Structure 1
Amino acid sequence: MRHFRHPLTLLAFAGLLVLAACGRGGGDERPPEPGDRAVARVQNQTIWASDVKREAVAQGLVGEGEPLDVTSDLFRRVLDEVVDQKLLAREAERRGLDNSALAQRRLEATRERILGDMLVENVVNGAISDQAVQTLYQEQLRLARTSEEIRVRLILSRTRQEADAVIGILGQGATFEAVAQERSIDEATRYSGGDLGYSTIDVMPQAYANALRDAPAGTTVGPFQTEGGWAVLRVEDRRRESPPTLEQARPQIVRYLTYEGVRQLLEELRGKAEVEVLLAADDRQAQEPASAPAVAAPAPAAAPATQPAAPAPASKAAP
């Protein structure tokens, strides 16, 4: 007996109905992509390696540009899901579930979504060149050179008196790390000697940023009050922020360029198209479609044992 590895989303199911409906004529045995490979056949319909890769990408199991080895356990698991999906789609067709008006509307909506994705792949993604990625990366490098990272250690106390005592102990020659482990109330850092690691001024709480803005490496700052207590800081190091490499930054840059490309494409298409929204801004009486789940009416409140008489309506002044 077969068991489903993962529950199917309605969107994935509808998408497969679209594909199944398009392939009723017997299917095309030509590889959909150059170098593609047939990996299974369900009732004379071929499943290609690219079909499995597309499903894995849709589930977020691999990235768009990442390889998926056909011999891997992940590939076999996703292949099994694609087979199950196609079997469900064929059974839905056999029962005529794709013939209703609602099914046709949902299938068309999925078809439009797929075509929109393909337009983005062809128009937007095709315009994202290595030169565009390199240009944006250099701009980010230029901005990063103006940022400075600071490595800080923290001793957090409950009161000003406790914080002053910490300053006294440090003045007697005790190491900051040892005092942090013994006296700091910040459980997240005390066992690492109060080490907060490297960060930039702009992401620090305002009280920390104000205290550290001009403090050189090797100095102790504080005590000053914060939301968590009274803080004493030691500036371990100051350095220019280390930017990511081009390869590290590439996925984020590509996502940004894709978003910008889609935004510009939609602006252009909306500028050419006639779009009319039929709902008024204050339309509060819109009815749910007949397919919407019914909302149970609230149960009437129990009447009190003795109901007070209703007040008489206020008399209206004659016009």
Structure 2
Amino acid sequence: MLRHKFLATAALAVALSFGASVHAQEDAVVAKVGDLEIRQSELDLAIENLDPQLAQLPDDQKRVAALSGVIDVKLLAQGAADEGMKDTEEFKKRMEYITDRELHNSYFRKHVVDAVTEDEVKARYEKEIGAMPKQEEVNARHILVKTEEEAKTIIGELDAGKDFAELAKEKSEDSNKSDGGDLGWFSKGRMVPEFEEVAFALEKGAYTKTPVKSQFGFHVIKLEDRRDVQAPPLEQVEPQVRQLVMRDKYLALVEKAKSEQPVEITDEALRKGYEDVNKAQAAEPAAGEQPAPQQ
């Protein structure tokens, strides 16, 4: 189902680390560590990058936790600077990688996240809807009893003209008896096979003339209606559809960059692994896959 595919791609969430822009006049000093100032913009970045557990705290506690972390960082960073650590090759390599990663994130935000239009989201939604095969679902009621004889007696009462929902309220042992045995809408694969086979074979308005046995007991089933499975409305799955559009934009950016700057991998095992990953990423995502870029 489309809902399943969208929910499966829901695992495509993009974790970005971008702080909101802060005007200079609003970037107040919130603390000092020696001669170093900690400004609101730095505190905002620290809040965004809190440990997930701390991120669940109330806003005032998050601010305190983030400030505590920034102060600790400033204190020990000063110690590292005093020892000359920032002049080491190891540190320079780490900073070069971090710089590249943040540039990548900024580029991603500009050309992917902020570039997605509502028309693109709607078009991708309609494409997914059109590609989904039709699937039938039914609306049914049932009465569940322990023995076959009880089920046969109920069928006899139905033949005599008694109302199915009222009999369900009176005699069913299922938890939905108060709803007249209403099971709502369900598609294939939702019920036990023996129940499902009979339910989907019934005509609209008909009930089973013989008891249906399952692991739960004996059922008398009535088919209320049947229809094609309804796709979820765009409003319900818009975030997941947007992720699909973002994924396509991201892959297009990467492919364009590769065409302009060919990638050469000298390690044979790494080269093969890299190619396999890129082939899988370029394929259309199926339920359960998570091919979106991770920031």
TM-score over 0.5 for the alignment? yes
Q: For residue 213 of structure 1, give the secondary structure of its aligned residue in structure 2.
A: helix
2:76 matched residue in structure 1: 92
Q: Does 1:120 align with 2:113?
A: no
Q: Is residue 142–residue 221 contact of structure 2 (8 Å, CA) maintained in 1?
A: yes
Gaps of 5+ in 2: 1-16, 271-295
| 1:26 corresponding residue in structure 2 | none
Question: Which residue pairs with 2:21 in the alignment?
Answer: 32
TM superposition shift of 1:130: 1.9
Contact 1:39 1:49 in 2 (8 A): no
How far apart are 1:235 and its partner, in Å?
2.2
Which of 271, 274, 277 is residue 264 of structure 2 equivalent to? 274
More helix by share: 2
Q: Describe the superposition over 1:146-193 as per-residue Cα deviations: whole angstroms up to 9, x where unpaired.
A: 455432223334454443344234334443334434444433x33433
| Percent identity (aligned) | 21
Q: Paired residue for 1:194?
A: 181
Contact 1:163 1:232 in 2 (8 A): yes
Residues 6-57 of structure 1, C-alpha deviations (whole Å, 9 max, x = no match): xxxxxxxxx9xxx9xxxxxxxxxxx836799547623222223993697289
> 1:259-270 residue pairs with structure 2 within 5 A?
259-265=247-253
Q: Is the 8 A contact 1:36 1:49 kept in 2?
A: no
For structure 1, which segment, 33-42 or 256-265, has the greater mean C-alpha deviation from structure 2 after superposition?
33-42
Amino acid across the alignment from 1:84: S
- Please state if 1:42 is matched with 2:31: yes
- Which secondary structure does the structure 1 equivalent of 2:202 belong to? coil
Structure number with the bigger relative contact order (C-alpha 8 A, sep ≥ 6) is 2
Please, which of 153, 156, 164 is the counterpart of residue 152 of structure 2? Answer: 164
Q: Which whole-Å deviations, capped at 9, do the CAs of 1:246-279 have from their partners, x for residues lacking one?
A: 3333212102222344455556667731235576
2:66 counterpart residue number: 82
Please give the alpha-carbon distance, in whole angstroms, between the structure 1 residues aligned to 2:99 and 2:165.
62
Give 1:132's aligned residue.
120
Distance 1:109 1:227 in 2: 59
TM-score under structure 2 normalisation? 0.59
How many positions carry a matched residue from both structures?
Answer: 243
Greater Cα radius of gyration, structure 1 or 2: 1
1:180-227 deviation per Cα after TM superposition (whole angstroms, max 9, x unaligned):
34444433x334332222233465554444323353432224633445
**Which consecutive residues of structure 1, in runs of 5 or more, have no partner in the other structure?**
1-14, 20-30, 63-72, 281-319
Q: Would you say 1:210 and 2:200 are equivalent positions?
A: no
Pairwise CA distance, 1:135: 0.9
Alignment RMSD (CA, Å): 4.7
TM-score scaled by length of structure 1: 0.55
Rounded to whole Å, the distance in 1 between the matches of 2:215 and 2:104 is 49
Aligned to 1:66: none
Closer, same or farther: CA 38–231 of 1 in aligned 2, 3 Å:
farther
Work out whether residues 170 and 176 of structure 1, in 8 Å CA contact, stay in contact via their aligned partners in 2: yes
CA–CA distance in 1 between the matches of 2:185 and 2:24?
Answer: 47
